[in-house]
Amino acid sequence: MTSIQSTLGEGDEGIAEELAKGQREISIAEFFEKNKHMLGFDSGARGLVTAVKEAVDNALDATEEAGILPDIYVEIREVDDYLRLVVEDNGPGITKEQVPKVFGKLLYGSRFHAREQSRGQQGIGISAAVLYSQLTSGKPAKITSRTQGKPEAQYFELIIDTDTNEPEIKESRETSWDRSHGTRIELEMEANMRARGQLHDYIRHTAVVNPHARIELREPGLEEPMKYERATDQLPDPTEEIRPHPHGVELGTLRKMLAATESYSASGFLQEEFTRVGKKTADKVIDNFRDRHFGRELSWTPPQAHDGVDLTSVVEGAVANKGASATADFARRVSDVLSNRERVAHHEVREVVATCADEVEADSGTRFGPTVRENTVEALWAAVTGPGEEDGDDVEDDAGYGRLTADLYAVVDGVTSTRKDDATKQGMAERLARNVSGLDDGRHRLTHRALADLVNGAADDTVEYDEVTFGETARENVIEALWSSARTVPDDPPKVKEIVDDRDCARALLEAMRETDILAPPTTCLSPISADLIEAGLREVFDADFYAAATRDAEVHAGDPFVVEAGIAYGGDLASEGSVDLLRFANRVPLVYQQGACAITGVVKNIGWRNYGLDQPGGSGIPNGPAVIAVHVASTNVPFTSESKDAVANVPAIEDEVELAIREAARELKSYLNRRRSMQKRRKKQEVLGKILPEMADKLSEVTGRERPNIDGALARIMNNVSVERVVEGDTVTLVVENYSGRSEQPEITDILAAEPSGVNGDAQVVDLDGEWFVKWSPSVPAGETAELSYTLPADTDFDIAVDGVEAEKLTINT
Task: Output the known binding site for ATP.
Answer: 58, 89, 110-111, 120-127, 645
Q: Are 60 and 118 in contact (CB under 8 A)?
A: no
Its sign, for the CA torsion 425, 428, 433, 439, is negative
Q: Of 722, 632, 627, 631, nearest to 672 (Cα)? A: 627
What end-to-end distance do the CA atoms of the chain give, in Å?
98
Q: Are 86 and 75 in contact (CB under 8 A)?
A: yes
279-293 and 503-515 helices, crossing angle to 10°: 130
Write a three-state SS string for 651-675.
CHHHHHHHHHHHHHHHHHHHHHHHH
Q: Of 155, 193, 159, 241, nearest to 76 (Cα)? A: 193
The binding site consists of 58, 89, 110-111, 120-127, 645
Contacts of 143 (CB under 8 A, 6+ apart): 99, 103, 155, 156, 157, 158, 183, 184, 185, 186
- Residue 577 CA from chain centroid, whole number: 34
Q: Are 26 and 176 in contact (CB under 8 A)?
A: no
Q: Are 555 and 635 in contact (CB under 8 A)?
A: no
Distance CA 216, CA 242 (A): 35
Distance CA 785, CA 90 (A): 59
DSSP alpha helix (H) spans, 705-798: 714-719
Distance CA 104, CA 161 (A): 8
Burial 90-125 (b: 16+ CB within 10 A, else e): bbbbbeeeebbebbbbbebbebeebbbbbbbbebbb
- Burial tier of 152 (Cβ tally within 10 Å: 0-12, 13-18, 19+): exposed
Partners of 589 in beta bridges: 586
Contacts of 676 (CB under 8 A, 6+ apart): none
Count of helix runs (H) and strand runs (E) in the chain: 24, 25
Partners of 799 in beta bridges: 753
Its sign, for the CA torsion 457, 458, 463, 466, is positive
Q: Of 748, 794, 801, 752, nearest to 773 (Cα)? A: 752
Q: Of 360, 362, 305, 368, nearest to 338 (Cα)? A: 305
Distance CA 418, CA 477 (A): 13
Write a three-state SS string for 539-592.
HHHCCCCEEEEEECCCEEECCEEEEEEEEEEECCCCCCCCECEEEEEECCEECC
Q: How many C-beta atoms lie closer than 10 Å to residue 272's C-beta? A: 15
Burial 378-414 (b: 16+ CB within 10 A, else e): ebbbebbbbbbeebeeeeeeeebbbbbbbbbbebbee
Partners of 215 in beta bridges: 72, 228
Contacts of 362 (CB under 8 A, 6+ apart): none
State the pairing for strand pair 82-89/226-228. Answer: unpaired
Distance CA 115, CA 113 (A): 6
Distance CA 728, CA 726 (A): 7
